[in-house]
């Protein structure tokens, strides 16, 4: 461990044992109250202040004069504490930087990292990735099973060893006898247009291309491929014709094979563009964890106000908190929508971040700081973890040791059909993790908005093979009615988003929106209780899909009960006022707003261009889960199924009728958990006769 210096402010905070109220425990507490105080701490240097300043969310060189510190118990790691430092940056942006304190007893098994180089491109630094790669190849059972697939190469690859010197060439694997492992590259194109494959550059690439004509990220990826003894490398812009839509469509439909059969993926995680490269310089003094003595009171913010504080005393290890989120999940590369698919499909990924190198395979997530595996406190929260779906599929495979559709799968399914942990339980977990993946995918950037479904077509194929299900316009066929209950939250820390400029999906598909898409609350909360009742029924659907996953047209017919209503949404510009919903066949009105607990909630799929205006809509109940049998005829009589339910839920679509009077479009989702609101909606439902509605 390093010798540790702490400024007086940090020493005082870590030994703040005089107050025991909830406010005294959590904070925030004044930390540095002037620029000179903070500068003195950095000059010392204070280990804690230097670390949280280096890990600040908003990058600015202006030193703060008003740093405050709070402490929170980490729910997902018993005994761990989060130190959260906050201050106002220029422009009144509130900046947060978090470290964690881990009891020494829980950190004793952590292997001390080797001395790290000041540059991530040195041989000694890359030795970490080489060790992880070889260990994975030879000792990871699940990873090896994926690697035992027949030798296969994409249609075109770069041969990085065929020609001597600083030259590579493009080979057509159908015309030349090629075999062997290959790497892939995930990268951000950036503002510049890198050299790419077109009809006019084909011969030049086949004859041999000087590395000087390629951007830094491509050159570094070629260097990595050679240093690992791999001959072939696949880069999208150099292996897919950029001026041939037919070739692009064919290659896009094969992304599942291209990435899943690659030996490893090279991820330019920190690079904003192709010219940035993979490697960077770094201050290794900030790549550290160190012991501190602690004597203070803490409370769990997840518990009620009456819960007594806990006195913690002793030696704790301090290091950066939630490193994977900061340096992998929220890095520039992983805000590209296409990269979510590339990372998911790749059996192994080398992440080149600005801080350190990270390794990810089907069995391990590790880093230079944690070569034996990343501890729990450095992994992302569930809704921030795009890799959780991949982890769930790995768990599925490791438990059953087989893929769906095989004889072994059928035998396993029959053998375990009466066990408490069945294949169906694991399938349900996959459906849930798909929703988590979608949360992350839909917040990513996409250059061409029409690629919304194309960019996850390979993921849908892979997941569908495990679920024995098929994605229909973005919704799973076997539960398509339940899948209709997605919603967006464009008003939470985001600017309201307009509708797409071009059609890419029907209004009932989440793929038609530009906002971050969340999974149905009813499905999420009650998925294990078995008491969800469907209030609508699929008649049929008509979906015309291209081989790439892009849609040409899509509609569905739903047997349901549209309730005519007048919807008035409060002006979203100032967030003031209450919205209301008036049922036209009775005049009954429900008032609601976005911030009242248990109130009716209506989430529009896109920003209302005329906030404060009213809309003629139809409310269509889709699913419910009710804990009281006397609430409606739909409530289940099986009390055992409802024993674990904590509340009532009713969800449904908000539709508008097209001018032809024959078709409906979705404009949002309504959600009710208040018993009176649910009763009101269901009473109006029973007054009407179900009808066949065409949704487009």
Summarize pLDDT for 385-420 with one digit per residue, the tens: 778 898 888 888 777 665 554 444 445 545 455 454
- The C-alpha angle with vertex 689 and arms to 687 and 690, in degrees rounded to 5, equals 125
Looking at residue 642, its pLDDT comes to: 42
Q: Is the pLDDT of residue 558 over 60?
A: yes
> Closest Cα to residue 391, out of 433, 422, 431, 423?
433
Please indicate whether residue 231 or residue 420 has the higher confidence score (pLDDT): 231
pLDDT band, very low/low/confident/very high, at 297 (cuts 50, 70, 90): confident
DSSP, residue by residue, 164-187: SSSEEEEEETTTS---S-EEEEE-
Burial class from Cβ neighbours inside 10 Å (0-12, 13-18, 19+) for residue 96 reads: middle
Q: Is the pLDDT of residue 487 over 50?
A: yes
Q: Is the pLDDT of residue 576 over 60?
A: no
Give residue-wise pLDDT tens across range 533-555. 999 999 999 999 999 999 999 99
Q: Is the pLDDT of residue 200 over 90?
A: yes
What's the mean pLDDT in 62-74?
82
State both tokens at 264. 């490893």
3 state DSSP class of 193: coil
State both tokens at 232. 């072939």
Looking at residue 639, its pLDDT comes to: 43
What average pLDDT does the chain have? 85
Q: Is the pLDDT of residue 637 over 70?
A: no
Give residue-wise pLDDT tens across range 29-42. 889 999 999 999 99
Q: Is the pLDDT of residue 60 over 90?
A: no
Report pTM: 0.87
Count CB atoms within 10 A of the CB of residue 558: 26
What's the mean pLDDT in 362-371?
92
Count CB atoms within 10 A of the CB of residue 129: 24
Looking at residue 441, its pLDDT comes to: 94
Do the beta carbons of residue 567 and residue 617 sit within 8 Å? yes
Share of the chain above pLDDT 70, in %: 83
Give residue-wise pLDDT tens across range 593-619. 655 656 788 888 887 555 557 789 999
What's the mean pLDDT in 176-199?
90
Lowest pLDDT segment from 82-91, 202-211, 235-244 = 82-91
Looking at residue 145, its pLDDT comes to: 75
> Closest Cα to residue 5, out of 42, 47, 62, 39?
47
Lowest pLDDT segment from 125-134, 188-197, 488-497, 655-664 = 488-497
Which residues have a Cβ under 8 Å from the Cβ of 103 and sit 6 or more positions away? 79, 80, 314, 316, 317
Please indicate whether residue 498 or residue 546 has the higher confidence score (pLDDT): 546
Looking at residue 122, its pLDDT comes to: 95
State both tokens at 579. 């919205």
Q: Is the pLDDT of residue 493 over 50?
A: no
pLDDT band, very low/low/confident/very high, at 524 (cuts 50, 70, 90): confident
Give residue-wise pLDDT tens across range 71-100. 877 655 656 888 889 887 666 667 888 898
Q: Is the pLDDT of residue 448 over 60?
A: yes
> Closest Cα to residue 55, out of 330, 272, 382, 275?
330
What is the domain partition of the chain in residue ranges? 8-110+286-322, 123-281+326-382, 383-469, 475-695
> Closest Cα to residue 278, out of 336, 342, 358?
358
pLDDT band, very low/low/confident/very high, at 641 (cuts 50, 70, 90): very low
pLDDT band, very low/low/confident/very high, at 288 (cuts 50, 70, 90): confident
Residue 252 vs residues 27, 258, 557: alpha-carbon distances, Å = 51, 9, 30
Looking at residue 57, its pLDDT comes to: 67
**Category of 551 on φ-ψ map: left (φ > 0), alpha (ψ -120 to 50) or beta:** beta
What's the mean pLDDT in 524-534?
79
Coarse DSSP helix, strand, coil percentages of the chain, rounded to the nearest 5 percent? 30, 25, 45
What's the mean pLDDT in 574-590?
74
């Amino acid at each position: 461990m390093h010798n540790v210096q702490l400024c007086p402010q940090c020493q005082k905070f870590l030994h703040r044992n005089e107050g025991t109220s909830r406010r005294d425990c959590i904070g925030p507490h004044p930390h540095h109250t002037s620029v000179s105080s903070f500068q003195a701490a950095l000059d010392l240097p204070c280990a804690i202040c230097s670390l949280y300043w280096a890990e600040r969310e908003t990058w600015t060189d202006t030193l703060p004069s008003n740093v405050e510190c709070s402490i929170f118990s980490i729910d997902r790691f018993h005994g761990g504490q989060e130190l959260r430092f906050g201050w106002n940056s220029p422009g009144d942006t509130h900046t947060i930087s978090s470290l964690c304190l881990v009891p020494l007893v829980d950190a004793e098994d952590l292997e001390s990292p080797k001395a790290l180089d000041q540059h991530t491109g040195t041989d000694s630094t890359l030795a970490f990735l080489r060790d992880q790669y070889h260990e994975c190849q030879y000792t990871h059972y699940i990873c090896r099973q994926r690697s035992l697939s027949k030798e296969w190469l994409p249609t075109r690859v770069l041969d990085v060893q065929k020609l001597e010197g600083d030259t590579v060439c493009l080979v057509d694997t159908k015309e030349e006898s090629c075999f062997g492992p290959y790497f892939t590259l995930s990268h951000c194109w950036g503002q510049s247009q890198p050299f790419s494959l077109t009809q006019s550059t084909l011969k030049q690439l086949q004859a041999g291309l000087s590395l000087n004509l390629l951007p830094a990220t491509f050159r570094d990826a070629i260097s990595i491929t050679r240093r690992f003894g791999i001959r072939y490398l696949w880069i999208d812009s150099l292996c897919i014709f950029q001026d041939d839509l037919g070739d692009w469509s064919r290659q896009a439909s094969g992304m599942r094979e291209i990435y899943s059969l690659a030996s490893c993926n090279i991820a330019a995680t920190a690079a904003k563009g192709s010219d940035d490269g993979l490697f960077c310089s770094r201050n290794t003094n900030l790549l550290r964890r160190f012991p501190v003595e602690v004597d203070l009171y803490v409370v769990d913010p997840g518990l009620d106000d009456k819960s007594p504080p806990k006195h913690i005393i002793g030696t704790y290890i301090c290091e950066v908190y939630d490193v994977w989120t900061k340096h992998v999940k929220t890095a520039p590369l992983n805000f590209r929508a296409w990269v979510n698919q590339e990372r998911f499909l790749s059996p192994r990924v080398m992440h080149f971040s600005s801080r350190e190198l990270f390794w990810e395979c089907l069995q391990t997530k590790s880093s230079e700081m944690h070569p034996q595996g990343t501890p729990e406190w450095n992994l992302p929260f569930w809704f921030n973890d795009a890799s959780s779906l991949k982890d769930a599929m790995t768990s599925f495979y490791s438990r059953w040791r087989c893929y769906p559709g095989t004889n072994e799968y059928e035998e396993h399914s029959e053998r375990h059909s009466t066990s408490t942990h069945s294949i169906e339980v694991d399938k349900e977990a996959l459906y849930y993790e798909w929703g988590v993946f979608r949360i992350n995918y839909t917040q990513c950037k996409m250059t061409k908005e029409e690629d919304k479904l194309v960019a996850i077509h390979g993921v849908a194929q892979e997941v569908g093979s495990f679920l024995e299900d098929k994605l229909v316009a973005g919704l799973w066929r076997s539960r398509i009615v339940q899948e209709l209950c997605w919603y967006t939250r464009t008003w939470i820390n985001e600017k309201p988003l307009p509708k797409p400029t071009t059609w890419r999906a029907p209004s009932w598909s989440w793929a038609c929106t530009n906002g971050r898409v969340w999974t149905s609350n009813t499905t999420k909360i009650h998925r294990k209780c078995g008491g969800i009742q469907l209030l609508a029924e699929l008649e049929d659907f008509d979906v015309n899909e291209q081989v790439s996953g892009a849609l040409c047209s899509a509609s569905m017919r739903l047997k349901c009960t549209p309730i005519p209503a007048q919807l008035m949404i409060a002006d979203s510009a100032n967030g003031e006022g209450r919205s209301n919903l008036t049922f036209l066949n009775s005049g009954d009105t429900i008032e609601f707003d976005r911030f009242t607990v248990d109130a009716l909630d209506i989430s529009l799929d896109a920003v209302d261009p005329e906030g404060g205006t009213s809309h003629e809509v139809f409310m269509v109940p889709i699913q419910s889960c009710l804990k009281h049998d006397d609430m409606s005829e739909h409530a289940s009589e099986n009390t055992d199924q409802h024993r674990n339910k904590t509340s009532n839920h009713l969800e449904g679509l908000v539709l508008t009728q097209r001018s032809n009077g024959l078709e409906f479009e979705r404009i949002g989702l309504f959600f009710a958990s208040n018993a009176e609101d649910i009763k009101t909606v269901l009473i109006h439902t029973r007054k009407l006769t179900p009808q066949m509605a065409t949704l487009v």
